[in-house]
Amino acid sequence: MQFTVAIDGPAAAGKGTIARAVAQRFGFAHLDTGLLYRAVGRRVLDGTPADIAAATLKHRDITREDLRTPEVSDAASQVAALPEVRSALVLFQQEFAKRDGGAVLDGRDIGTVICPEAEVKLFVTASAEVRAHRRWLELTKAGHDVEEAQVLEDVKERDERDSTRKDAPLRPADDATLLDTSDLPVEEATDAAIQSVARILGEKT
């Protein structure tokens, strides 16, 4: 069975948490596509040109433990604006989406560019302040010494760059279901996503 769930949204909106829960509930495979751009950004910081980094990306690059730092978030968003980087990563994502048994992909352009035919499309948002607070908590827990105000500034800058780039800008697909998690506990947001998937899956099977 092929069944694709596309989850897009701005920085730190909770896409990953929702995507993992949906994948686990339905036994689907999950791909955090942000990791691909983070891994390219990391390699660029280490001195590899962006186009080469994207064209030669290996599994070990996306399993590195140092991909969630603010420095890598910023580098990821810079390389993500380069068409040659995006095009080098398209096929891998599309093949992942079509794997037998169902797939959940989260990112910025899954419902619009990578999988416009996805059975379920969700666009997860929250206010910039709520998202920055969540990201600040994550970073602090992971041992990073960061100011919340700085995280907010970084999140806003990244959203602006991601939304205004020419190639595959961050935006909801016309047929995406919007899920605003500003005032929604994570369990409720996850339940809402699972219900959207269950409804469509039920119609299909």
Would you tell me which residues interact with ligand CDP (CB under 6 A)? Answer: 11-12, 33-34, 37-38, 73, 76-77, 80, 107-110, 158, 162
- The residue (of 127 and 199) whose beta carbon lies closer to ligand CDP is 127
Residue carrying structure tokens 């920085």: 11
Closest approach, Cβ 11 to ligand CDP, in A, equals 4
Q: Of 28 and 136, which has the nearer Cβ to ligand CDP?
A: 136
Distant-in-sequence, close-in-space partners of 9: CB < 8 Å, separation ≥ 6? 15, 106, 108, 122, 123, 124, 125, 170
Q: How far is the CB of 182 from ligand CDP (least distance, A)?
A: 15
Q: How many CA atoms lie within 13 A of 67 on its CB side?
A: 19
CB of 21 to ligand CDP, least distance (A): 16
Which of 20, 198 has the CB closer to ligand CDP? 20
Question: Shortest distance, CB of residue 203 to ligand CDP, whole angstroms?
Answer: 27
Q: Which residue has the tokens 């891994």?
A: 39
User: Could you give the angle at the alpha carbon of 86 between the alpha carbons of 139 and 15, nearest 5°?
Assistant: 40
- Cα–Cα distance for residue pair 76/56, rounded to 1 Å: 16
Which of 105/197 has CB closer to ligand CDP?
Answer: 105
Please report the DSSP string for 9-52 in residue order. Answer: -STTSSHHHHHHHHHHHHT-EEEETHHHHHHHHHHHHTT--HHH
Report the residue count for the chain.
Answer: 205
**Residue 42 or 108 with smaller CB distance to ligand CDP:** 108
The minimum distance between CB 133 and ligand CDP, in angstroms, equals 13
